[in-house]
Amino acid sequence: MNYSFPIAPHWLVLAFLGGLFVVVSCTSDQLPAPVTANCATESPTYTIEIAPIIDESCAYSGCHLDSSPGRFNSYSGLLPYLQSNSFRQRVIISRTNAIIGMPPDNAPAGRPKDLTEEQLNLVECWLDAGFPE
């Protein structure tokens, strides 16, 4: 017996392989975990917990020390940005935005490009508590 199988058009094969690729590649997509602060157990203050985070990731030469708007090397320099909510917007809400999120993606070598989950939690609790000095 002679069996004859029709050959599928190239577009059909390509469509099948493309669909298979999409299905396989989408199975491992994960969204970043949301920042969830446990403020019931955290009560950070600027002087103790927040100032070191700001000094390391914001208040350095070329950033919020001498060239960008705002001098973040003191509580009084940071206060207007806390009161206007722009600090929360840039550090917490827009943190993954490459253009407006802080710390910036173009931070110099040795400076963090992102805050750790623990740092984000501390900052969020501090902001929620009214940013105590």
Tokens matching residue 4: 């004859």
Domain ranges in the chain? 46-128
Alpha-carbon dihedral angle through residues 56, 60, 63, 66, given to the nearest 10 degrees: 150
What are the backbone angles phi and psi of residue 45, rounded to the nearest 5°?
Answer: -120, 160
Q: What is the pTM of this model?
A: 0.63
Please list the pLDDT of the chain residue by residue as tens digits (133 residues).
555 555 556 655 555 555 545 555 554 445 455 555 678 887 899 999 998 988 887 755 556 655 567 777 789 888 998 999 998 998 888 888 877 777 766 666 666 677 889 999 999 999 999 999 9
Pairwise CA distance, residues 85 & 93, whole Å: 10
